[in-house]
Each structure stands twice: as C-alpha cells, then as structure tokens.
Amino acid sequence: MEKATFAAGCFWGVEDSFRKVEGVISTRAGYAGGHTENPTYKEVSTGKTGHAESVEIVFDPSLVSYNELLNIFWNIHDPTQINRQGPDIGSQYRSIIFYHNEEQRLDAIESKRKLESSGKYSKEIVTEILSARKFYPAEDYHQQYFEKRRL
C-alpha cells in the first residue's frame, strides 16, 4: 500500500471523489501543510494555522497508479484559483500535492508541467508541490461527510 495526499478545496468533496476509485483502500479528511499542531476545524477556518483542508489516501498501486490519482486531482478542482475553490475562500482551500517520496515528487512535477503545456487553462496553475509532513485527521463529523448524508 502507498499514501497520497492532496488539497483541492473543501475536503468533503475531495474525499468523496477519491473514495469512489477502485484501488483506493481508505481516505481521511484532515489538515496538512501548516505550522499549528493538532489544529481544529475552527482554527484552520481562520486561515492562521497555515494548514490546508487535505485528504490522505491509502491506495493499492497494483490497482490504481499514483499518476491516475494525479489525473483525478487535476480534474476535480480548478488549479488556477489562488486560495479558493468556488465559493470557499481562504488559504485553507489552496491547491497542493503533498508527495511522500521522490517518485511522487517527480510524477507531480511532470503532471503539472503537462497540464500547463496542454493549453487547458488560460491562467497560471498555482498548485503547490510540497513534501508531505504531519497530517492531522479532521474531526469525526468531517470523515466521509457526503456518505453520512446520503443515508
């Protein structure tokens, strides 16, 4: 099993998109990329923790590749929006690929380069590519949020 971590706006929709992918074993909504230890949703919502709403994914690379996950990431949000996605505004909604190893880092850089050269977007892609550090799971009520509401 391998891990992938992405930030692409509100974590509810991001987590929901990846949970549907064959080969994804588990997902966790949470916070990453900031400086506050053990942040709460309320703290992250202020934009002062440095964290982005993120999703940590455990996947089976024999069933789904990291590059396939990158393609999903690029297609579920607008990577040209700075510190926002749709109506959600703030640094906690920024676009980030958190890589877990050198291969992921290189794949992320290459996938961003390909997207930039594709002409799909007229604006600059602002997605950050950062080393995965500490991931803090969000509160229980954020986990599988949409699935809980579909019942």
Range of the domain at 74: 2-150
Tokens representing 54? 């993120």
* Mean of the per-residue pLDDT values of the chain: 96
N residues, the chain: 151
Annotation says 66 is catalytic: no
pLDDT at 112: 98
Residue 149: pLDDT band (50, 70, 90) is confident
Cβ neighbours of residue 51 closer than 8 Å, sequence gap 6 or more: 31, 32, 33, 34, 36, 39, 44, 92, 136
User: Which pLDDT score is estimated for 151?
Assistant: 52
- Per-residue pLDDT tens digits for 86-145: 899 999 999 999 999 999 999 999 999 999 999 999 999 999 999 999 999 999 999 998
The pLDDT tens digits for 13-70 are 999 999 999 999 999 999 999 999 999 999 999 999 999 999 999 999 999 999 999 9
CATH code, domain carrying 60: 3.30.1060.10
Give residue 124's identity as a one-letter amino acid code: E
Instruction: State how far the Cα of 23 lies from the Cα of 72, in Å rounded to an integer.
Output: 13
From 10, 32, 52, 96, active-site residue: 10
- Can you give the pLDDT at residue 88? 94
CA dist 59 and 74 (Å) reads: 18
How many separate domains does the chain show?
A: 1
As a whole number of angstroms, the distance between CA 130 and CA 108 comes to 10
Residue 138 sits at φ, ψ, to 5 deg, of -75, 170
Q: What is the pLDDT of residues 81-91, one digit of tens each?
A: 999 998 999 99
Proportion of the chain in helix, strand, coil states, percent, rounded to 5:
35, 25, 40
Query: Using 50, 70 and 90 to split pLDDT, how confident is the model at 76?
Result: very high
This prediction's pTM: 0.95
How far, in whole angstroms, is CA 10 from its chain's centroid? 9
